């Protein structure tokens, strides 16, 4: 059964002159199409996750593809019954993914892009190491079977791990992967820069692997940066790898601690969720600011006077045509 909404995940490394001006233009384009989500605009390109009605998302993709700078953008498209976001944020930042590797240009040199089927064929070979370049809270809920994972809270910590990786895997074929492919562009390029010779990346990331290769051997769920939190990928041999933070049973139900001061984002099973009233510990359960638990472990952020047209003259909305 077709669902009325689409969720788009995409990025494109491309030079954007006057990127801060283009941010405004892009914001208005999204408003015209009633899209919600998060988009980063930088001098080095675009990185976004948005949701909207299918026809509006089609118009958005067509508008980006019509711009020569973004013609090569590869969209990962999922269906949904509703918006995956409640707000629209289009922000200018120095990088489209925070890595601290401003000197690395993936358009000049990066790892060999592998299709999902090529990745699947290579990943279990003896001279291969599969490297997860995501943060620990992401791979804790799901990762490829036998993958090397990194103890990092943010991708900007990745460069600090490379010497450690070099000691163990420099002579191996290194297959990098992440959620949608964007982190691998700079991760694989930096590995090459640091002396690794055989570096590859899963083009389109875990999401595309699930769509085109059935997700085989991806264990657990894939963490995503929208209201779904984590999504199923593996249709072939699915497993659960994460454990309830409270009782230790296998569970992949991601929640935020009901104590807003803590707000820890971890798996908590449904039983413990109700028993702990959404809290991750006894101390958080007794905290005076604890939020009311409704069984989801998801707490909608306050709108705080959110206005998507803030900073714009309303008549400007008609200045961008589709």
Residues 268, 255: Cα–Cα separation, whole Å: 6
Residues 85, 227: Cα–Cα separation, whole Å: 6
Enumerate the active-site residues: 178
* CA distance to 35, 68, 71, 114, 246, per residue, from 227 (Å): 15, 32, 28, 29, 23
212 φ, ψ to 5°? -105, -20
Alpha helices in 144-289 (DSSP H): 162-169, 182-193, 205-213, 270-275, 282-285
Q: Given CA atoms 266, 272, 276, 278 in this order, what sign does their dihedral have?
A: positive
Cα 209 to the center of its chain, rounded Å: 14
Residues 121, 162: Cα–Cα separation, whole Å: 25
Separation of first and last alpha carbons in the chain? 29
Residues 231, 142: Cα–Cα separation, whole Å: 10
Q: For residues 119 and 177, is the Cβ–Cβ distance under 8 A?
A: yes
* Cα diameter, the chain: 61
């Amino acid at each position: 059964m077709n669902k009325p909404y689409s969720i788009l995940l995409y990025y494109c490394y491309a030079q954007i002159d006057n990127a801060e001006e283009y941010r405004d233009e892009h914001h208005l384009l999204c408003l015209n199409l009633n899209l919600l989500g998060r988009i980063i605009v930088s001098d080095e390109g675009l990185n976004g996750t948005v949701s909207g009605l299918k026809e509006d998302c089609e118009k958005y993709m067509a508008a980006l593809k019509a711009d020569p700078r973004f013609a090569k953008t590869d969209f990962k498209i999922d269906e949904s019954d509703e918006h995956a976001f409640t707000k629209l944020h289009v922000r200018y930042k120095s990088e489209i993914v925070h890595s601290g590797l401003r000197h690395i240009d993936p358009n000049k040199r990066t790892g060999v892009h592998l299709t999902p089927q090529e990745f699947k064929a290579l990943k279990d070979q003896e001279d291969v190491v599969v490297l997860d370049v995501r943060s620990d809270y992401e791979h804790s809920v799901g990762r490829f079977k036998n993958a090397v994972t990194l103890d990092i809270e943010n991708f900007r910590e990745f460069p600090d791990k490379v010497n450690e990786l070099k000691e163990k895997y420099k002579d191996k074929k290194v297959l990098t992967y992440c959620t949608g492919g964007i982190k691998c562009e700079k991760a694989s390029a930096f590995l090459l820069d640091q002396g690794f010779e055989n570096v590859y990346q899963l083009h389109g990331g875990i999401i595309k692997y699930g769509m085109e290769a059935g997700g085989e051997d991806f264990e657990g769920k894939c963490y995503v940066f929208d209201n779904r939190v984590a999504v199923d990928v593996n249709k072939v041999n699915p497993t659960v790898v994460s454990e309830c933070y409270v009782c230790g049973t296998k569970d992949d139900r991601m929640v935020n601690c009901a104590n807003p001061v803590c707000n820890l984002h971890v798996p908590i099973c449904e039983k413990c969720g109700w028993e702990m009233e959404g809290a991750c510990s006894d101390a958080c359960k007794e905290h005076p600011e604890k939020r009311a638990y409704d069984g989801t472990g998801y707490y909608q952020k306050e709108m705080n006077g959110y206005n998507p047209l803030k900073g714009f003259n309303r008549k400007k909305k008609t200045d961008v045509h589709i």
